[in-house]
Chain A
Amino acid sequence: DADVTQTPRNRITKTGKRIMLECSQTKGHDRMYWYRQDPGLGLRLIYYSFDVKDINKGEISDGYSVSRQAQAKFSLSLESAIPNQTALYFCATSDVGQNQPQHFGDGTRLSIL
């Protein structure tokens, strides 16, 4: 979805480095999400936020942190990257309400050496 922008699109870094992935949206949605995709495993939820400064853990939050300082932006950080965090990372947004689907950005491919 062109209204959900992720930066960078690709990143290669070394073990132990701190990494920040950014997500911004122009959809005006309150809810934002970070997912991780690994081959053959589908998408798994890392963190989600329902509003500015609201932070909630997903199913695989260990080793990650997030920040939601504005409605349009949701950043994901890896404080000390390790090789098994090599994956494709997706940001998504949704409006409030049960029937509101999630809309995804184009992903960040992260490789940790």
Chain B
Amino acid sequence: GQQLNQSPQSMFIQEGEDVSMNCTSSSIFNTWLWYKQDPGEGPVLLIALYKAGELTSNGRLTAQFGITRKDSFLNISASIPSDVGIYFCAAKGSGGSNYKLTFGKGTLLTVNP
């Protein structure tokens, strides 16, 4: 089945540093999404990407939809302690599978103040 390979699995950084994480797949997707999950809560949508090559920002977050439609990355600039959490990539296909979200296994981010 379709799988997303998300890396790194975990990161431990100092406050103020930039962060980069990515997801790759052998399958083509039409939508890429990035979610953040805080402890005890559900995933919250950060950024949605709908076109190959699209680069979108949300505050200190920037994400790109890879030109091959098989990958995406998320960057966080100038990290702060509240950036701590698990970040998930997710992707959707097209046509009959456009409902189905495939998730990466997550990147656990720890920020040291």
Contact = CB atoms under 8 A, between A and B. Distances in A.
A4 B48 CA distance: 20
A60 to B, nearest CB: 11
A43 B43 contact: yes
Contacts of B44: 1, 104
Interface in B85-113: 88, 92, 94, 98-101, 103-106
A107 B99 contact: no
Contacts, number: 53
Interface string A69-103: 00000000000000000000010101000110111
Given A104-B43, A106-B40, A106-B41, A98 B92 contact: yes
Contact of A41 (B48, B94, B100, B105): B105
A50 B42 contact: no
Contacts of B30: 98
Most buried by B among A45, A50, A94, A101: A101
B1 A104 contact: no
A62 interface: no
B45 interface: yes
Contacts of A106: 40-42
Contacts of B1: 59
23 contacts: A1-B42, A1-B44, A4-B42, A31-B99, A40-B105, A42-B104, A42-B105, A43-B88, A43-B103, A44-B103, A45-B100, A59-B1, A98-B30, A99-B48, A99-B50, A101-B33, A101-B45, A101-B48, A103-B45, A104-B35, A104-B42, A106-B41, A106-B42
Given A43-B43, A107-B40, 7 more contacts: A1-B44, A4-B42, A40-B106, A41-B105, A59-B1, A99-B50, A104-B43
